[in-house]
Amino acid sequence: MSPARDIVQEPVVFDRRSFRDALAAFATGVTVISTVRDDGERVGITANSFGSVSLDPPLVLFSVAKKARSLAAFLDTPRFAVSVLASDQGAVSNRFAVSSGEKWDGADYSIAANGCPVVDGALASFECDRHAHHEAGDHVVLIGLVRRFERLATGEPLLFFRGSYRTLVRDAEFPDYAGSEPKVLPPLNGFDPWTSG
């Protein structure tokens, strides 16, 4: 590894809307991130900033705006859960995207082993201990150590692209590797996203 270099941060000025539009060209999955305060209040937010960090140890991350009302709950509690939404869960995403109201009333959810709510029917869920958090511009990045996870064997993800929900369309060139028998998708043209770089 090369020695660390000081990073010079020049002021960057460009149109905020254009920057957001450019970022929206990157399709993401959609998640509900949840935690429970000490007084038992359930907190949940919609986030598309979820991502993997490490396989060993198993780490994931998401980010929350510093001005978000829910940020304090995620910083004050030692654990959280992530529900990866399925293609038919757009209404669930909308429910947790608002900043007020009791979002869990009328929602279909279960309580995970770590005490946090997880959305029923989600493609996957991750139960995490808060591992670290870092301020990054107008957001805080939270990193979780995955203690337990579950996944459905079938189903399609809810995607977010250019400001709206999307679904996958199967590509005839690449067959579906999510059939009933476990299969390993070979790296495309030698590229393996878990070990590249």
Q: At which residue do the structure tokens 């679904």 appear?
A: 167
Is residue 180 scored above 60 in pLDDT?
A: no
Q: Is residue 109 helix, strand or coil?
A: strand
Domains assigned to the chain: 16-166 (2.30.110.10)
Is residue 2 scored above 60 in pLDDT?
A: no
> What's the CA dihedral at 17, 48, 165, 26 to 10 degrees?
60
Bigger pLDDT: 29 vs 167: 29
Give pLDDT tens digits for 55-82. 999 999 999 999 999 999 999 999 999 9
Q: What is the SS3 assignment for 8-73?
A: CCCCCCCCHHHHHHHHCCCCEECEEEEEECCCCCEEEEEECCCEEEECCCCEEEEEEECCCCCHHH
pLDDT confidence of residue 196: 47
Q: Report the candidate in 42, 121, 62 with the shortest Cα–Cα distance to residue 89.
A: 121
Structure tokens belonging to residue 12: 């960057």
Cα 45 to Cα 50, 73, 179, 188, distances in angstroms: 12, 11, 31, 34
Give pLDDT tens digits for 132-171. 999 999 999 999 999 999 998 889 999 999 989 998 877 6
Q: Rounded mean pLDDT of 27-41?
A: 95
| CB distance 141 to 133 below 8 Å | yes
How many C-beta atoms lie closer than 10 Å to residue 165's C-beta? 15
| CB distance 36 to 115 below 8 Å | yes
